[in-house]
Structure formats: structure tokens, C-alpha cells
Amino acid sequence: MNDSTNELIRIDAENTRPFLDEPALAASQDRIREAMSVLRNRSGAGNDFLGWIDLPAEGLERLQPLRDTAEEIRAESDVLVVVGIGGSYLGARAVIDALTPPFGDGGTEVVYAGNHIDGSYLQSLLRHLEGKRVSINVISKSGTTTEPALAFRVLRQWMQERYGPGEAARRIVATTDAEKGALRSVADEEGYRSFVIPDDVGGRFSVFTPVGLLPIAVAGIDVSALLEGAVAMRDQCADADPATNPAFQYAMLRDALYRRGRYIEVLASFHPELHYVTEWWKQLFGESEGKDGKGLFPAAVTNTTDLHSMGQYIQDGRRMLFETFLFAESAREDIVVPEEQDDADGLNYLAGHSFAEVNRQAMRGTALAHHAGGVPNAAILLPEINAATVGALLYFFETTVALSGYALEINPFNQPGVEEYKRNMFALLRKPGYEELRQKLTRQLGEEG
């Protein structure tokens, strides 16, 4: 098994080899090759949700209206509030956090609402918006998902009180279904500008649609470079040779380790700006693989921070997991460790070294320590963190999870288990039509009906 080498992503699988013999790898390679055939022929379960495959190339051809809207928002607003949950905000947040300075750059601030149910957060957000010029991008296929619908109800009223109905409508952009749904009806009635979520793209695969691209463009990120990186990765992921197709190789490793009893994958980033990439990855892999009693459990840590907490379990806990390191080999910005005359903290041995070099050796030392402790680990290496490499990385993960799902003989593109908690919540909140279930649940909870 050769490591893949290419411009945008490199896979280092050296620390998995002692845990996998050639027959295991050969069997996994056969399963992933068959999965590639199913994906390429669009013959598998969920094949009506494969629009993500060609999204980056198609997106490059129709960027101008989105760019125009983004530039108008940037010119007229200090803050854009993105209202959405799951795939309706995680992709945008992953890219924005990865590619913008952590303490702001003076451009339009992008903040988030509707991704949980917490009144104190929303009150704090409203206070933050006071005195600022505000626009909203509300994102929902249906417009009835509880979390974003609740937040949008509050924010819409606030905008109307602040600006008046006409100006509020001009400052609200809806990203939703082309023809149907509650949000589509409201957008048409109020005259909101709108962008369409394609019918053949699931939410967790929607980062290269206007769902992700509009907030990303408002944040000042080069969306063309992002899409071009994804297109380059799409072309590479079409290669049937695992030595030159990083998604094939990653999917093969995951499959082989899973079938050897490694049921948890820990994605370990060594860059705080990639934290929300790992959050997006958790949704992508958790919703895609976790069904029919199958699938790896996706967990994530940000090192070296979490080496001082979760690192203990990974090093010495139950041997049911493996790690995938996510690391950029070149820093976008850096700082050199200064020398001090008295060396009170004992760090003069690092004087003259860059933080990037110290971080790199921390990653290498962690990989060696965890490998010695019985934890297989591989590394996804980016040359640097920029729009093209992030676009490539997200597309690489999308392709990998499709291959992994088909290798498990499941539908990677549905999420039937997501609805169960909603039914219970609706019943407990006395939503019409849920009376029978409410009575059952209140009995279980020992409450009066």
C-alpha cells in the first residue's frame, strides 16, 4: 500500500501498517473498488442524492448572482446572521473559521443562530446586533425545522421593528427549496431575495451550494479558489488506483480498521482554525454511516489542547479506536520563540524555532506515542490552509464517506434516525397531531397528562 502524493492532500498511513495484514487490506481494497463502481455508475442506494458530485464545477459556472448579493451585503452590513442547523450552517462555518483571522479583519462579521434552542444565546445575539447594520441569511429546505424556524421568527420580528417591513425584507436572503415549503412561501410573500437548495443534494453535502457559498463569500473568502480546489479533488477521486486517489486510500484504511474492531475514529486536528472542519466532518460521517447497526463513531479533538484531556484516554484507554491526524505542513502566519537571558521557564532550547515547527514535532511525537500505545493512526497532510486546499479537503471527505457507506452496504445519503427525537419533542410540546404519543411519553416520564 503506497501513500498518495499530490498537490492538495497527502496521506501518510505508515502508523497503520503494523495493525493491518495484507489479506485484510486486500479485502478492503476490493470492497472500496466495488463501492467506487457503484458510485460512478450511480446505481447504489440514495442515488437520487448524488448532485454533490458535480457541484463544484457547476458552481463555478453560476457564481455571479451569488457574488453580487454577497458584495451588497458586505457593503451595507456590519453583521450577517446565518440562521440554520446541521448542514445548513456547519459547512459555511467550517470554511469561514478555517480561512479568516480568529479575531476579525474589519470586514462583515458572520455570526450564527438557529443551530440550537437556547434563549440566553439569542438574547445575547440581539444585544450584540444593537447599533450595527444587519443582514440575515435564513437557510432551510422546508422552513419548519424547529431550531432555525424559532430563531428566524424572533430575528424576523426584530428586523421588522428595527428597519420596517420593506427594508427588513431587503436585508433578508432565503436559501431554500425552489418551489415548496414554508420558507419558500414566506420568501415569495415578503419579497426576499432567494437562492435554491438543489433537490438532489442533502444538507450535509451542501457546502458547495449557495447554502455554504453565500456566507463564505460574505466573509470575504475567494469562493472560486474554494471550488477550484474541490474540482481538482473530484478529478483525483475519479482515479481507481488507491496509490493516487486519497479518498480511496482513506476509505480503505477506515474499512480495514473497522473490520478489525476499531469502531471509533478520532479526527485530531493540530490547528484551532480547523475546529469547525472537524465538527462538519462529525455530521458528515455520523449521519452518513451510523445506521443499520453499523458504522464508525466519529469523534474529534483539537491538539495540542486536547492532549491535556482526551490524550490520556487515547494513549491508555480501551483499544477500540484509531486516529486520523489533520495537519498543515506550512503555516499561513507564524511567530518565532524568543530567547530570554535567565531562561526561567527552561524554554531557551526552543529559541529561534517557529511555533509551526514546534507544533509539527508535537504532532509527530503524538503519532509515535499513540502508535506505541496500540492506536493505529494515519495523517491527512495539507501543504497549507488556503481556499483551494480547504475546498479539496471537504470534497475528499464527501467522496470518502460515500465510498465507506457503500462498502458497509448502507445508504450513505439518508438519515432516518434523526426524526425520532423530533417526534418525542413535538409530542411533549403538545404539537397538534401528537396527542397519543404525548400520553405514552408522559406515562413513561411519570408525569400527569
Q: Do 78 and 38 share a structural domain?
A: no
Residue showing cell 479539496: 392
Q: Do 296 and 152 share a structural domain?
A: no
Give the three cell numbers for residue 63: 457564481
Total domain count, the chain: 2
141 counts as catalytic: no
* Domain of 170, in residue numbers: 53-222
Q: What CATH number is associated with residue 132?
A: 3.40.50.10490
Of 190, 205, 222, which one is at a domain's C-terminal end? 222
**What confidence tier does 3 reach under pLDDT thresholds 50, 70, 90?**
very low
Dist CA 266 CA 383 (whole Å): 21
Q: Do 253 and 144 share a structural domain?
A: no
Residue 197, in any domain of the structure? yes
Residue 274 has pLDDT above 80, yes or no: yes
Residue 321, in any domain of the structure? yes
- Which one is catalytic: 308, 419, 420, 436? 308
Give the three cell numbers for residue 152: 428566524
Average pLDDT of the chain, as a whole number: 95
Check: CB of residue 377 under 8 Å from CB of residue 323: yes
Q: Do 283 and 196 share a structural domain?
A: no
Q: Do 307 and 336 share a structural domain?
A: yes
Q: Using DSSP, state whether 136 is helix, strand or coil.
A: strand
Residue 355, in any domain of the structure? yes
308 counts as catalytic: yes
132 counts as catalytic: no
Q: What local confidence, expressed as pLDDT, does residue 449 receive?
A: 53
Give the three cell numbers for residue 426: 413535538
Residue 323, in any domain of the structure? yes
Supply the pTM of this predicted model: 0.95
Question: Residue 331: CB partners within 8 Å, gap ≥ 6?
Answer: 354, 355, 356, 384
- Which one is catalytic: 116, 132, 180, 422? 422
Q: Do 232 and 214 share a structural domain?
A: no
Q: Do 358 and 304 share a structural domain?
A: yes
- Which one is catalytic: 147, 265, 287, 289? 287
Q: Do 61 and 31 share a structural domain?
A: no
Quick: pLDDT tens for 45-100: 999 999 999 999 999 999 999 999 999 999 999 999 999 999 999 999 999 999 99
